[in-house]
Chain A
């Protein structure tokens, strides 16, 4: 990436921000703090409020209550065209009647910069997004990935301290998406702006973000670093939304010996955990697929969580094997790295699953 004048990203503080449409609560009163220069993702299923939150910050959606502080100043009453925030849209939203250079120059023209400076800035940012010499093309002459790079350039050419991205890679196919994830990260490092990134793809968010907020039903379920969210999900929704999770409903907590705690699941399995359970009525036990080891030697394992089952199916994906084991009338997913010269399990084979008590996460169901 070419050199680019780096500047400090804005700190964003959201205080009790809420949006209702009549009876529908699109966004429950929400608090969120995004650090200067951070790459922060909002993820959640459709209708979870992530786009509403982004729309409030961009200025398209007037919030029903709350404040949005960008570098300490409340912007709720500021119209979108005076917020000096950059935005990248899902379908690029390039102006089809303008050339690539004219698209990128547009925000600079609106700011009444002298033509000479506009030309210089457009040229510089075209090389940052690796499209040098493409200024005269029409947007329709570019590929999807190139168009998205033009959209990035247009959103960043005026050095906004805050960049919003609304599912910017949603329209691209998988390979291109992965390439663009890398490019956006590079771009983020080059410009130094704070990025608020909306996606429904948890893998994309985990790959790119410093921190993630998971939204559901108009509220933030949990916010934190991707690894923390994965390892210490606050509830069953977070556990199942970020990565795969085997979730067992807990029927009864049997009691604790030292730091071990035994529970009985609704399908009658006995599991052991190390964590002290949260004091809520309904708990689930969450076991990540890669925490479980498969064996068929009943004597071999010293693990305290042991469940026997029958292999239901085996899927070899790039680099890993996913085996599903049926226990009673449910399936437990197990994932392991592919190993050379090790044959997988055959369907119908009896198998023993084992894992360490610290990998049994007891978390609230809701």
Chain B
């Protein structure tokens, strides 16, 4: 069909335009980071890798990267555990208030982080947890858990409860049912949710500004501070690395989802 072909080309063209508009500005940081100038200018008049060397030379950057991982990984793990439990309760718990519970769990994703930060700040201060790893991990878990909740809910919605009931009539207790049936069915959702939760924590600025201190400073917070003081292409170099890493995470999430859909028979042993 010729008409369909033209429509299709127009659709692809439009999608490419939108994507280009949204993503191209992000790509600008890549050439900026290879500039040989002391300031940010586009296009750069010459090329060098000196800003990457400057970044590696400044101990603050690797320290912030380590902090981001020390916060991101526990956040992802906590989010996966709590988000999965919440999803199981809402989807399989036969609760009268499941819809209300879902709304409460998802709410932090929609609330402005600054409002949550204002609320958490005095609480953490009172608890004496301010500027420690735990406070920011808790805060990040609150905003990252909804992602796990949503992906695991989708996994649980993709098959009927009858599968678990079948396992039970076969003699599997609650734990064995989870281990042998529910977990294999939702593990892709849990993994994708975990990757997204990590990415959320890794990118988060507002809560980190309020809750981290010099010892727990994350990458986004360090970038923010550096931007306030001096605008050098070092930041573009950091941004480029973060950008590449985020793309990697996104790719991993997409690949996991594709594998989950293929749904192969997994051989044990």
Residues in B139-162 with C-beta less than 8 Å from chain A: 159-160, 162
Q: Give the docked Cα–Cα distance between A316 and B114 (Å).
A: 76
Q: Give the docked Cα–Cα distance between A99 and B268 (Å).
A: 10
Q: Which residue of A lies closest to B162 (CB)?
A: A93
Q: How large is the interface on B (under 10, 10 to 19, 20 to 34, 35 or more residues)?
A: 20 to 34
CB neighbours (8 Å) of A154 from chain B are 166, 170
- Minimum CB–CB distance from A171 to chain B (whole Å) comes to 12
Q: Give the docked Cα–Cα distance between A99 and B269 (Å).
A: 13
- Minimum CB–CB distance from A294 to chain B (whole Å) comes to 49
Find out whether the CB atom of A95 lies under 8 angstroms from the CB atom of B263: no
Q: Give the docked Cα–Cα distance between A258 and B172 (Å).
A: 65
- A218 interface contact, C-beta 8 A: no
Residues in B34-91 with C-beta less than 8 Å from chain A: none
Contact of B160 among A84, A91, A158 (CB under 8 A): A91
- B266 interface contact, C-beta 8 A: yes
CB neighbours (8 Å) of B264 from chain A are 138
- Minimum CB–CB distance from B84 to chain A (whole Å) comes to 17
- A300 interface contact, C-beta 8 A: no
Main SS class of interface, A: loop
CB neighbours (8 Å) of A190 from chain B are none
Find out whether the CB atom of A80 lies under 8 angstroms from the CB atom of B263: no
CB neighbours (8 Å) of A102 from chain B are 268
Contact of B171 among A90, A111, A164 (CB under 8 A): A111
Give the A interface residue count (CB, 8 A): 33
- B205 interface contact, C-beta 8 A: no
CB neighbours (8 Å) of B267 from chain A are 99
Selected interface stretch from B25-33, B101-109, B178-186: B178-186
Find out whether the CB atom of A96 lies under 8 angstroms from the CB atom of B171: no
Contact of B263 among A84, A87, A97, A164 (CB under 8 A): A97
Find out whether the CB atom of B162 lies under 8 angstroms from the CB atom of A89: yes
With A95-B181, A97-B185 known to touch, is A158 a contact of B171 (CB < 8 Å)?
yes
- Minimum CB–CB distance from B254 to chain A (whole Å) comes to 21
Interface centre among B168, B172, B264, B267 (most CB of A within 10 A): B168
- A226 interface contact, C-beta 8 A: no
Find out whether the CB atom of A96 lies under 8 angstroms from the CB atom of B263: yes
A selection of 22 A-B contacts at a CB cut-off of 8 Å is: A59-B169, A60-B165, A79-B168, A80-B165, A81-B171, A81-B172, A85-B169, A87-B166, A89-B162, A90-B162, A96-B159, A96-B263, A97-B185, A97-B266, A102-B268, A106-B167, A106-B180, A138-B264, A140-B263, A154-B170, A155-B169, A158-B170
The 5 A-B residue pairs with the shortest CB-CB distance in the complex, in nearest-first order:
A107-B170, A110-B171, A93-B166, A87-B169, A138-B265
